Amino acid sequence: QVRGDLDNLQTLVLDALQGVLFANDKRVTHLEASIASCASLEPGIAILAVPIDPLAVKAAIPSAHRGSC
């Protein structure tokens, strides 16, 4: 069985979702990934995308550390 490197798979998924789920993958601020081997499952990718509330994020970050967004 041939598996890709996890970082290469992440890049592939982010590139595929750019322009579909988000305008630019530079906007992705959190990413979790793992490769699981399970003989009873077909190969595939599961993606959970959760929108964040920009106002809640802005309130949680001290003003001295805020970027331009």
Gap between the Cα atoms of 66 and 60, Å rounded: 10
Report pLDDT for 42. 78
Gap between the Cα atoms of 13 and 49, Å rounded: 12
Residue type, 62: P
Report pLDDT for 68. 47
Q: Do 25 and 14 touch, CB atoms closer than 8 A?
A: yes
Gap between the Cα atoms of 66 and 57, Å rounded: 10
Residue 23 DSSP class = S
For residues 33-49, average pLDDT: 78
Between residues 5 and 38, which one has the greater pLDDT? 5
Gap between the Cα atoms of 33 and 31, Å rounded: 7
- pLDDT at residue 43 tops 70: yes
